[in-house]
Chain A
Amino acid sequence: MLLASLVEPSFGLIFWMTLSFLIVLFILAKFAWKPILNGLKEREASIADALNEAKKAREENANMMAKNEDLMRQAREERELLLKEARDIRDREIAGAKAKAKAEGDALLARAREEIRNEKNAAITEMKNQVAELSILVAERILKEKLGDAAAQKALVDKVIGEADLRKS
């Protein structure tokens, strides 16, 4: 009969169990489970939000970094370009200057050479003229003075030549 009492639900316990369990269920549902479940949901939502925001921030950061990197690269490229241009310009200038200097030098040289040649020609012509005059003079004097010996002749020639100013006439 003890066994029977074990598997035979007693009225009193069913009564109290039903009554008190339902009351507690109601109270807990209203004052415990509702705030707890809401709190959990809110916290989860806020954590999810925070995570999302962190992710977004990270993405933005990465974007910014990429953008910075891009800007830096652009700046570098620009600098390279500028430098290259400057180098080109310099090279061109130098090359131009060199060419010009060379041309000018050449021209000067050419002119100098021309002048030298002209001067030389003029000098040669002058010399030719003076030599001819001198020869004529010498010959004239010789012819004018009778010269006894060869030594006197020689001295005379030297004297005439010495008297002749090549620069003159």
Chain B
Amino acid sequence: MSIPNLLRTASLLIGSFLFGAASAQHDGHDHATHDHVDVVDSTVASVVAADSDAPKLALEEAEHGGRFDAGKLIMGHIGDEHGWHLWGHTTLPLPIIVYNTERGVSIFSSGHFDHGHKTYGGYMIHEGSIVATKDADGTDVHHATIDEPLTKATWDISITKNVLSLFISLAILLFVFINVAKAYTRRAGQAPTGFQNMVEPIILFVRDDVAKSAIGPRYMTFMPYLLTAFFFIFLNNLLGLVPFFPGGANLTGNIAVTLVLALITFIIVTVKGNKHYWQHILAMPGVPGWVLFILTPVEILGMFLKPFVLMIRLFANITAGHIIALSFFSLIFVFGETNAGAGYGVSVMSLAFTVFMTMLELLVAFIQAYVFTFLSAMYIGAAVEEPHHH
């Protein structure tokens, strides 16, 4: 584990550095959007407003002589979108589903937003999220006004790029594992064949090296969750590395997804935690009373901190990996802007680095799936552990 840990730390460090750079840029944009007088920044502002198509627009800017913005390209790639940019000017429109008490449920295609340039059905895309507006359909977003109170009462459950990617990956999981399960019932007791052969070692790995070793004799209850979580994370980590449809969504690098996963672990631990577990949190046995004043709050904090760390770890690792790979890629265009020759020169290095990072990410894809599952199993194991009789 020492080498993967090292790699993770390194990628986190680089990732946080890039985060810092990116946030500095955004401060500039904030300023620009508030100050519409600035003509030079108004193009940037339009990009920000329509950042559902940020990666494409960032490149367009470069094509039309504007400044290439690596931060925008990267953020667009690792963020979410209403519509899935396939290639060139082709974007797969996705269903927008919004609800608010005033207008009820509205369902329409994201194509009506015209890449985030126009309003439709009383809504528009502002800074990547759906906001309510009172302007008529087809109004340019720059002239539309946001209906703040209504926006606050609006719930957006659109099928975004990430949601579609989520559905695709879950469909793959269902298809693959139900078929594999069929193989187990059809060929009971026989040696595995085909795809069954490919997933069986991983299933055995999760069972023997994750669940059995971390949870103990009662591991079987938690196997379905651990297996589903492992394969979900692993598959989506891999899909995230595929640069085109149906890959390319940064699902496991999305905090909402890791939040839900960590929350499920937290709920399992809290619900399944036995007397022994709660006793150790609330009043650690064998510890003098006055120490408990310090220890119990720490333990309670730890209870929430563990799943929180699970959430952050997966999110940060995958996002950082994507940021680094895309940064190397962006270097080509950054250098290409100053001098075409430099761009070509750097492209060789960038390509090498991007390939290297992708290789590394393949490793990280497995390691992070393993780490998430293993730590979940550890927390569950601590919660269901029977007291030792010394």
Contact = CB atoms under 8 A, between A and B. Distances in A.
Contact of A20 (B170, B180, B189): B170
A43 B80 CA distance: 44
A116 B174 CA distance: 128
B260 A2 contact: no
B48 A1 contact: yes
Contacts of B259: 9, 14
B91 interface: no
A8 B260 contact: no
A40 interface: yes
B127 interface: yes
Interface in B164-181: 166-167, 170, 173-174, 177-178, 180-181
Interface stretch (A24-32, A51-59, A134-142): A24-32
Interface stretch (B21-29, B143-151, B285-293, B343-351): B21-29
A18 interface: yes
Given A12-B156, A13-B257, A2 B26 contact: yes
B79 A2 contact: yes
Contacts of A18: 260
B224 interface: yes
B184 A11 contact: no
Interface residues of B, number: 63
Contacts of A2: 22, 26, 48, 51, 54, 71-72, 75, 79, 127-128
A102 B335 CA distance: 131
A10 interface: yes
B234 to A, nearest CB: 14
Nearest to B30: A1
Interface in A2-56: 2-3, 5-18, 20-22, 24-25, 27-29, 31-40, 42-43, 46
A40 B157 contact: no
Contacts of A1: 26, 29-30, 48, 127
Interface in B113-166: 127-129, 155-160, 162-163, 166
B258 to A, nearest CB: 9
Nearest to A43: B189
B156 A33 contact: no
A37 B157 CA distance: 35
Residues of A contacting B: mostly: helix
A25 B26 contact: no
Contacts of B22: 2-3
B90 interface: no
A31 B178 contact: yes
B319 A6 contact: yes
A33 B166 contact: no
B220 interface: yes
B78 A5 contact: no
B80 A33 contact: no
B281 to A, nearest CB: 26
Contact of B203 (A8, A13, A36, A38): A36
B204 interface: yes
B1 interface: no
Contact of B228 (A3, A29, A38): A29
Contact of B184 (A13, A21, A28, A40): A40
Interface string B331-370: 0000000000000000000000000000000000000000
B313 interface: no
Given A33-B227, A40-B204, A7 B188 contact: no
B2 interface: no
14 contacts: A2-B22, A5-B128, A6-B75, A6-B79, A9-B256, A16-B159, A17-B166, A17-B260, A21-B264, A33-B177, A35-B185, A36-B177, A36-B203, A43-B190
Given A14-B259, A43-B190, 15 more contacts: A1-B127, A3-B22, A5-B80, A6-B78, A11-B155, A13-B160, A15-B157, A17-B166, A17-B257, A18-B260, A21-B232, A28-B177, A28-B178, A36-B184, A39-B184
Nearest first, the 8 closest Cβ-Cβ pairs linking A and B are A39-B184, A29-B224, A9-B256, A32-B177, A13-B256, A35-B181, A2-B75, A32-B181
